[in-house]
């Protein structure tokens, strides 16, 4: 492998060694210095239009934009001297003269780079005494994105994202100079399945999410770093919630999984979490029952059915820890028929994976077999089934004398336990590319709910005296590590928030 | 360059050839290597006539040796206020431009050249098209030119009326069919220009000089004019002078005062000259007291302005400097492409500030504010349009501050 040549330069008095040609915004980042920037984005081409990243390079005369200036040996850079600060203050004053300053009604408030930089780099006053430019507001760019041209600083991140990453090249700039405004080409509606990423990368409040806008101020929300479970990609996300209800998901940078992006489908796929009709307590023969009663009923059903045969169907939405606990129950009962469905659909070249579940790999690792297209024609003594939140439901023709289900919504069964969603528990899954990732609990849908792993462990303890399940997800994971050679050496901490690659054999591709 | 400009038949291939046309091309293709042509241009010392004054030969030498196609783009998007010289070449003697373009292509290894003509010049376009057609029929364009194996073709591309497209990188963006936004440098067009290939962008007049440089030699060209401003140059003199027009002079042979007061006869009103923009509106204004400066690139620069496109605009003592400022501010704020923050926001702010002096409501602090905002724009953007507004505005408020103050007082009492 050829070695990238490195250069050593001085930035604000700090000497740093970086790959030759690395732009100064990134060089500064490595040196722990934040050069303000709007139009620069590490994954997009350099536009160099916002001019807020101006820095001084000794001996270069004019100030240079950090984003388009490559590091070279012996360079001496100043990112915050008097000259740079004055220029930056000027840019901030100019950016705000036509800005509506409507932070009080703007969704971006709290995560707005205009606010941040105005405070950090602005003068705090304006000398602009004219009527601000009037531009189109509340412009619908389709059913997901809303555009406000007056807030827009024309950094063209959205233009470049749609062209260079999403490949749809559907936003452009109309008019000229101070009248410039963004437009969507064609019928004015965006088509990209990745269009909502432009809301995230918009540094100001010009692009807002129709789904999220006006729902909550950011400072009232809780943010949880977890992953999306809509497909096997496992895009890293920050999930925003308030009062234990999910309000939005935005992508979280992970170069090994999803880079800076996520698909709109995954992002918008959370309504089922908030659904008020969800099952919030176990049911025995159609009537609400406390957990101990339901677990006891399940135990007797399963023990009685052992001779007639038990069919176990896991869900590829279960965490590895849940699957492990399920294994324990099935081992205690001696169940051999262990399956899981693997819902599939369309994928694409960017992120969307054709496997529409987060953990088929984990299910396979836990010894479950992919469900057959045709189930054997027989009547089972009992069916123990985790109903996936979508797709791959079992055929109605599958016959069982007794049914024990885990389900999001109430279903016809002898015992029906409530499912919890991915955002209600800690655990791990194995995403595409055999990347082991962690889920983080962000909300509590209903305080009385007990997560599946605990329910399964209690059932296990009821079946096998002396069994004691682990308390925390980290402890559960440690048991997994002890049981699976593929996880050797891992700890909950090591998996961290970015996950780790595994080397698995025999897991679905 | 204007030797035969007054002969209406000069635009035909026949007369152009009779007057010695296409001899330079013959000479270059038969006797010189491309490097020889470049060397001759380097020797001539010719500097860009579009405004920036970059040495032409040096620019050509930046073209890297690659397998990529190379392009020549002739910048005929003559839009600088007060500038109307390229038009004279295109309309009166178009073949010298075509010949120069072929020579440039030969030197840099290009087989395609585009002439990007200002959209408001339909007449120029028609004449160029006709000249190209004639040249093509005569085997001077296309495949195997003059039987030498050199292939080269020329295309005329009309602009769509944006001043910014005269900026060399936005000219390329526009030529590619995109919105005319200037591009970041580096990479410079000579390395990565049209369709990301090495591209030389030269002004019409610069390319026309090349024809004469190859015909008569770089040394001959360098012997004309003065050091730093070799050769002859077309000056467009407009505004308050008795004899405005496009003139060809050697640079550095006389002062601006001699040119304007003696040659052009001074102001029609008889009032003293109040101010001059020596190189289009994109440079600092010069006052009457500053006119005893030699008229070449370096002398004008030393005097705190610029020779620019040599589009010289004169205004007399009866003209309000604030009116001049508004005229200029309106132009640049209208023409700003809107890409960079300082230019997009600053140009319009300055326009509004200047207008307030005329409308009433301005205070003396606004004079300083104009200067401050112009400073925000100076040297902080992708292209030079922001500088081109900042420089005249700063110099106007610096040099004619009492006039701005008078408006404040007058409007306050009115």
Among B197, B223, B249, the domain-final residue is B223
Burial of A103 from C-beta contacts in 10 A (0-12 / 13-18 / 19+): middle
Are residues B89 and B210 located together in one domain of the fold? yes
The confidence score (pLDDT) of residue A40 equals 98
Which residues in chain B (362-381) have CB-CB distances under 8 A to chain A? 369, 372-373, 375-376, 379-381
Looking up tokens 């001496």 gives A76
Instruction: From first to last of the 414 residues of chain B, give the pLDDT tens digit.
Output: 899 999 999 999 999 999 999 999 999 999 999 999 999 999 999 999 999 999 999 999 999 999 999 999 999 999 999 999 999 999 999 999 999 999 999 999 999 999 999 999 999 999 999 999 999 999 999 999 999 999 999 999 999 999 999 999 999 999 999 999 999 999 999 999 999 999 999 999 999 999 999 999 999 999 999 999 999 999 999 999 999 999 999 988 999 999 999 999 999 999 999 999 999 999 999 999 999 999 999 999 999 999 999 999 999 999 999 999 999 999 999 999 999 999 999 999 999 999 999 999 999 999 999 999 999 999 999 999 999 999 999 999 999 999 999 999 998 765
Which residues in chain A (384-443) have CB-CB distances under 8 A to chain B? none
- A73-132 confidence digits (pLDDT tens): 999 999 999 999 999 999 999 999 999 999 999 999 999 999 999 999 999 999 999 999
CA angle B17, B19, B24 (to 5 degrees): 65
Q: Which token pair is A502?
A: 């595994």
- In sequence order, what are the residues at sequence separation of 6 or more whose Cβ sits closer than 8 angstroms to the Cβ of residue B327? none
Residues A50-59 as b/e (b if ≥16 CB within 10 A, e otherwise) read bbbbbbbbee
Chain A: give the shortest CA distance to residue B306, in Å: 18
Closest to A45 (Cα-Cα) out of A153, A165, A154:
A165
Torsion of CA B143, B144, B149, B151, to 10 degrees: -30
Residues of B in contact with A97 (CB under 8 A): 345, 349
Closest to A110 (Cα-Cα) out of A224, A219, A226:
A219
Are residues B311 and B326 located together in one domain of the fold? no
DSSP A122: S
Distance separating alpha carbons of residues A470 and A325, to the nearest angstrom: 10
Q: Is B52 helix (H, G, I), strand (E, B) or coil?
A: coil
Distance separating alpha carbons of residues B309 and B295, to the nearest angstrom: 13
Give yes or no for A49 touching B (CB within 8 A). Answer: yes
Are residues B275 and B374 located together in one domain of the fold? no
Distance separating alpha carbons of residues A272 and A155, to the nearest angstrom: 36
Torsion of CA A95, A100, A103, A107, to 10 degrees: -90
Residues of A in contact with B388 (CB under 8 A): none
Integer CA distances (angstroms), A255 to A261, A380, A432, in order: 10, 46, 14
Chain B: give the shortest CA distance to residue A11, in Å: 20
Give yes or no for A54 touching B (CB within 8 A). Answer: yes
Could you tell me if A476 and A342 are in contact, meaning their C-beta atoms sit under 8 angstroms apart?
no
Give yes or no for B341 touching A (CB within 8 A). Answer: yes
The confidence score (pLDDT) of residue A4 equals 82
Are residues B67 and B160 located together in one domain of the fold? yes
Are residues B115 and B245 located together in one domain of the fold? no
Its pTM stands at 0.95
Chain B: give the shortest CA distance to residue A263, in Å: 29
Q: Mutate one of B177, B182, B183, B345 to test the A interface: name it (highest A CB count within 10 A).
A: B345
The confidence score (pLDDT) of residue A330 equals 97
Residues of A in contact with B179 (CB under 8 A): 172-173
Q: What CATH number did the domain enclosing B170 receive?
A: 3.40.50.11540
> Is residue B2, in this structure, part of any structural domain at all?
no
Give the bridge partners for A55, in sequence order: A64
Q: At what angle do helices A82-97 and A113-121 cross, to 10 degrees?
A: 140
Are residues B200 and B269 located together in one domain of the fold? no
Q: Count structural domains, chain B.
A: 3
Residues of A in contact with B382 (CB under 8 A): 48-49
- Please tell me which of the candidates B333, B375, B379 has its beta carbon nearest to residue A177: B333
Give yes or no for A68 touching B (CB within 8 A). Answer: yes
Give yes or no for A168 touching B (CB within 8 A). Answer: no
- The three-state (H, E, C) secondary structure of A326-356, written as one string: HHHHHHHHCCCEEEECCCECCCCCCCCCCEC
Cross-chain Cβ contact A51/B340 below 8 Å: yes
- Please tell me which of the candidates A46, A51, A133 has its beta carbon nearest to residue B381: A51
Strand ranges (E), B101-215: 112-117, 142-145, 150-158, 199-203
Could you tell me if A334 and A306 are in contact, meaning their C-beta atoms sit under 8 angstroms apart?
yes
Host domain of residue B40:
8-50+57-223
Strand ranges (E), B209-351: 225-226, 229-230, 232-239, 245-250, 273-277, 286-287, 311-316
Maximum Cα–Cα distance for chain A, whole Å? Answer: 87
Give yes or no for B349 touching A (CB within 8 A). Answer: yes
- Please tell me which of the candidates B179, B338, B382 has its beta carbon nearest to residue A178: B338
Give yes or no for B382 touching A (CB within 8 A). Answer: yes
Distance separating alpha carbons of residues A468 and A227, to the nearest angstrom: 29
Give yes or no for B173 touching A (CB within 8 A). Answer: no
Burial of B248 from C-beta contacts in 10 A (0-12 / 13-18 / 19+): middle
Give yes or no for A172 touching B (CB within 8 A). Answer: yes
Q: Which token pair is B200?
A: 């030389």
Give yes or no for A63 touching B (CB within 8 A). Answer: yes
Give yes or no for B160 touching A (CB within 8 A). Answer: no
Residues B84-121 as b/e (b if ≥16 CB within 10 A, e otherwise) read bbbbbbbbbbbbbbbbbbbbbbbbbebebbbbbbbbeb
Percent over 90 (pLDDT), chain A: 93
Q: Mutate one of B183, B330, B334, B340 to test the A interface: name it (highest A CB count within 10 A).
A: B340
- Please tell me which of the candidates A46, A95, A173 has its beta carbon nearest to residue B341: A95
Are residues B216 and B83 located together in one domain of the fold? yes
> Is residue B389, in this structure, part of any structural domain at all?
yes
- In sequence order, what are the residues at sequence separation of 6 or more whose Cβ sits closer than 8 angstroms to the Cβ of residue B126? none
Are residues B215 and B264 located together in one domain of the fold? no
Closest to B6 (Cα-Cα) out of B182, B246, B235:
B246
Among B291, B316, B341, the domain-final residue is B316
The confidence score (pLDDT) of residue A508 equals 47
Which residues in chain A (175-194) have CB-CB distances under 8 A to chain B? 175-180
Are residues B157 and B19 located together in one domain of the fold? yes
Could you tell me if B266 and B241 are in contact, meaning their C-beta atoms sit under 8 angstroms apart?
yes
Are residues B297 and B343 located together in one domain of the fold? no
The confidence score (pLDDT) of residue A392 equals 55
Could you tell me if B230 and B221 are in contact, meaning their C-beta atoms sit under 8 angstroms apart?
yes
Q: Please give the interface size between A and B, counted as residue pairs whose CB atoms are below 8 Å apart.
A: 87
DSSP A219: G
Nearest CA in chain A to B378: A62
Q: What CATH number did the domain enclosing B399 receive?
A: 1.20.1440.230
Give yes or no for B167 touching A (CB within 8 A). Answer: no
ipTM for the complex shown: 0.93
Cross-chain Cβ contact B333/A49 below 8 Å: no
Give yes or no for B170 touching A (CB within 8 A). Answer: no
> Is residue B195, in this structure, part of any structural domain at all?
yes
Closest to B333 (Cα-Cα) out of B283, B390, B285:
B390
Give yes or no for B122 touching A (CB within 8 A). Answer: no
Cross-chain Cβ contact B375/A173 below 8 Å: no
DSSP B263: I
Which residues in chain B (281-340) have CB-CB distances under 8 A to chain A? 333-340
Among B316, B351, B384, the domain-final residue is B316
Could you tell me if A214 and A232 are in contact, meaning their C-beta atoms sit under 8 angstroms apart?
no
Instruction: From first to last of the 509 residues of chain A, give the pLDDT tens digit.
Output: 567 899 999 999 999 999 999 999 999 999 999 999 999 999 999 999 999 999 999 999 999 999 999 999 999 999 999 999 999 999 999 999 999 999 999 999 999 999 999 999 999 999 999 999 999 999 999 999 999 999 999 999 999 999 999 999 999 999 999 999 999 999 999 999 999 999 999 999 999 999 999 999 999 999 999 999 999 999 999 999 999 999 999 999 999 999 999 999 999 999 999 998 999 999 999 999 999 999 999 999 999 998 999 999 999 999 999 999 999 999 999 999 999 999 999 999 999 999 999 999 999 999 999 999 888 888 999 999 999 876 557 887 789 999 999 999 999 999 999 999 999 999 999 999 999 999 999 999 999 999 999 999 999 999 999 999 999 999 999 999 999 999 999 999 999 999 999 987 654 44
Could you tell me if A202 and A141 are in contact, meaning their C-beta atoms sit under 8 angstroms apart?
no
A448: phi then psi, degrees, rounded to nearest 5: -80, -10
Closest to A43 (Cα-Cα) out of A195, A352, A264, A258:
A258
Give yes or no for B216 touching A (CB within 8 A). Answer: no
Burial of A489 from C-beta contacts in 10 A (0-12 / 13-18 / 19+): exposed
Q: Strand B273-277 vs strand B311-316: parallel, antiparallel, or unpaired? A: antiparallel
3-state helix, strand and coil shares in percent for chain A, rounded to the nearest 5: 25, 20, 50
Cross-chain Cβ contact A94/B338 below 8 Å: no
| Domains of chain A by start residue, with CATH | 6-80 (3.10.20.740), 283-501 (3.40.50.740)
Distance separating alpha carbons of residues A479 and A80, to the nearest angstrom: 52
Cross-chain Cβ contact B342/A91 below 8 Å: yes
> Is residue B363, in this structure, part of any structural domain at all?
yes
B200: phi then psi, degrees, rounded to nearest 5: -105, 125
Chain A: give the shortest CA distance to residue B195, in Å: 16
Cross-chain Cβ contact B376/A91 below 8 Å: yes
Burial of A437 from C-beta contacts in 10 A (0-12 / 13-18 / 19+): buried
Chain A: give the shortest CA distance to residue B280, in Å: 21
Looking up tokens 């432009």 gives A198
Torsion of CA A255, A158, B167, A59, to 10 degrees: -40
Q: Mutate one of B359, B380, B381, B383 to test the A interface: name it (highest A CB count within 10 A).
A: B380
Closest to B249 (Cα-Cα) out of B230, B227, B228:
B230
Average pLDDT, chain A: 95
- Please tell me which of the candidates B184, B337, B373 has its beta carbon nearest to residue A48: B184
> Is residue B1, in this structure, part of any structural domain at all?
no
- A242-283 confidence digits (pLDDT tens): 999 999 999 999 999 999 999 999 999 999 999 989 999 999
Are residues B188 and B72 located together in one domain of the fold? yes
The confidence score (pLDDT) of residue A398 equals 86
Chain B: give the shortest CA distance to residue A173, in Å: 8
> Is residue B3, in this structure, part of any structural domain at all?
no
- In sequence order, what are the residues at sequence separation of 6 or more whose Cβ sits closer than 8 angstroms to the Cβ of residue A312? A326, A330, A335, A337, A338, A339, A368, A384, A385
Are residues B26 and B106 located together in one domain of the fold? yes
Distance separating alpha carbons of residues A465 and A311, to the nearest angstrom: 23
């Amino acid at each position: 492998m050829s070695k990238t040549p490195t250069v050593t330069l001085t930035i604000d008095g700090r000497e740093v060694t970086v790959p030759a040609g690395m732009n100064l915004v990134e060089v500064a980042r490595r040196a722990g210095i934040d050069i303000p920037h709007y139009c620069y984005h590490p994954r997009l081409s350099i536009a160099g239009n916002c001019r807020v990243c101006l820095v001084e390079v000794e001996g270069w005369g004019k100030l240079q934009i950090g984003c388009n200036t490559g590091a070279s040996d012996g360079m001496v850079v100043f990112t915050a001297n008097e000259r740079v600060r004055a220029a930056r203050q000027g840019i901030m004053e100019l950016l705000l003269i036509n800005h509506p300053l409507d932070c009080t009604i703007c969704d971006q408030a709290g995560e707005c780079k205009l606010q941040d930089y105005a405070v950090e780099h602005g003068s705090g006053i304006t000398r602009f005494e004219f009527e601000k430019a009037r531009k189109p507001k509340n412009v619908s760019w389709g059913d997901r994105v809303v555009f406000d041209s007056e807030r827009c600083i024309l950094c063209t991140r959205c233009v470049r994202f749609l062209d260079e990453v999403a490949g749809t090249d559907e936003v452009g700039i109309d008019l000229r100079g101070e009248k410039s405004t963004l437009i969507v080409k064609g019928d004015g509606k965006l088509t990209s399945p990745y269009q909502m990423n432009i809301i995230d990368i918009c540094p100001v409040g010009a692009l807002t999410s129709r789904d999220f806008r006006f729902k909550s101020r950011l400072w009232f929300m809780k943010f949880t770093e977890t992953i999306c479970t809509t497909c096997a990609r496992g895009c890293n996300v920050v999930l925003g919630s308030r009062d234990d209800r999910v309000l939005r998901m935005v992508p979280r940078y992970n170069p090994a999984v999803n880079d800076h992006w996520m698909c709109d489908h995954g992002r918008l796929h959370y309504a089922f979490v908030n659904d008020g009709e969800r099952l919030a307590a176990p049911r025995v023969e159609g009537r609400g029952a406390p957990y101990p009663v339901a677990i006891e009923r399940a135990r007797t059903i399963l023990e009685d059915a052992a001779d007639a045969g038990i069919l176990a169907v896991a869900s590829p939405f279960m965490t590895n820890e849940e699957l492990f606990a399920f294994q324990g129950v099935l081992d205690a009962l001696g169940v051999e028929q262990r399956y899981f469905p693997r819902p599939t659909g369309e994928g694409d070249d960017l992120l969307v994976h054709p496997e529409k579940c987060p953990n088929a790999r984990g299910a396979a690792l836990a010894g479950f077999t992919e469900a057959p297209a045709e189930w054997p024609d027989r009547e089972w003594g009992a069916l123990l089934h985790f109903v996936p939140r979508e797709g791959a439901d079992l055929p109605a023709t599958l016959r069982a004398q007794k049914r024990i289900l885990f389900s999001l919504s109430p279903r016809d069964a002898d015992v029906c336990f409530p499912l919890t969603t991915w955002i209600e528990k800690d655990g791990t899954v194995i995403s595409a590319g055999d990347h082991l990732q962690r889920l983080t609990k962000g909300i509590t849908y209903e305080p009385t709910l007990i997560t599946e792993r605990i329910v399964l462990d209690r059932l296990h303890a009821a079946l096998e005296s002396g069994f004691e399940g682990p308390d925390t997800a980290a402890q559960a994971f440690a048991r997994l590590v002890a049981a699976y050679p593929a996880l050797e050496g891992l700890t909950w901490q090591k998996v961290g928030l970015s996950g780790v690659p595994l080397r698995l054999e025999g897991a679905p591709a | 360059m204007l030797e035969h400009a007054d002969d209406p038949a000069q635009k035909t291939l026949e007369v152009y050839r009779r007057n010695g046309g296409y001899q330079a091309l013959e000479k270059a293709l038969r006797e010189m290597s491309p490097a020889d042509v470049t060397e001759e241009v380097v020797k001539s010392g010719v500097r860009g006539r579009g405004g920036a004054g970059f040495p032409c030969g040096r620019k050509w030498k930046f073209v890297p040796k690659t397998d990529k196609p190379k392009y020549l783009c002739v910048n005929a998007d003559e839009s600088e206020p007060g500038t109307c010289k390229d038009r004279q070449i295109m309309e009166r003697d178009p073949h010298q431009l075509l010949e120069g373009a072929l020579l440039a292509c030969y030197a840099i290894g290009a087989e395609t050249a585009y002439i990007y003509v200002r959209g408001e010049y339909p007449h120029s376009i028609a004449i160029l098209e006709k000249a190209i057609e004639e040249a093509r029929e005569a085997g001077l364009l296309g495949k195997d030119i003059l039987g030498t194996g050199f292939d080269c073709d020329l295309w005329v591309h009309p602009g769509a009326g944006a001043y910014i497209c005269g900026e060399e990188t936005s000219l390329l963006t526009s030529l590619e069919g995109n919105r005319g936004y200037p591009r970041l440098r580096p990479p410079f067009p000579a390395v990565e220009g049209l369709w990301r290939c090495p591209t030389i962008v030269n002004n019409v007049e610069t390319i026309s000089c090349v024809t004469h440089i190859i015909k008569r030699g770089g040394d001959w060209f360098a012997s004309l004019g003065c050091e730093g401003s070799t050769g002859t140059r077309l000056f467009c003199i407009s505004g308050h002078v008795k004899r405005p027009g496009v003139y060809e002079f050697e640079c550095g042979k006389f002062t601006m005062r001699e040119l304007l007061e003696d040659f052009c006869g001074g102001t029609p009103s008889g009032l003293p000259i109040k101010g001059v923009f020596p190189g289009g509106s994109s440079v600092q204004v010069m006052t009457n007291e500053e006119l005893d400066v030699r008229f070449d690139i370096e002398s004008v620069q030393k005097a705190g302005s610029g020779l620019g496109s040599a589009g010289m605009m004169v205004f007399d003592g009866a003209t309000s400097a604030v009116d001049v400022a508004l005229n200029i501010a309106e132009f640049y704020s209208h023409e700003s492409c809107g890409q960079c923050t300082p230019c997009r926001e600053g140009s319009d702010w300055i326009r509004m500030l200047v207008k307030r002096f005329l409308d009433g409501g301005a205070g003396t602090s606004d004079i300083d504010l104009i200067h401050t905002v112009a400073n925000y724009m100076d040297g902080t953007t992708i292209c030079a349009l922001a500088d081109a507004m900042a420089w005249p505005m700063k110099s106007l408020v610096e040099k004619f501050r009492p006039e701005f103050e008078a408006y404040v007082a007058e409007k306050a009492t009115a």
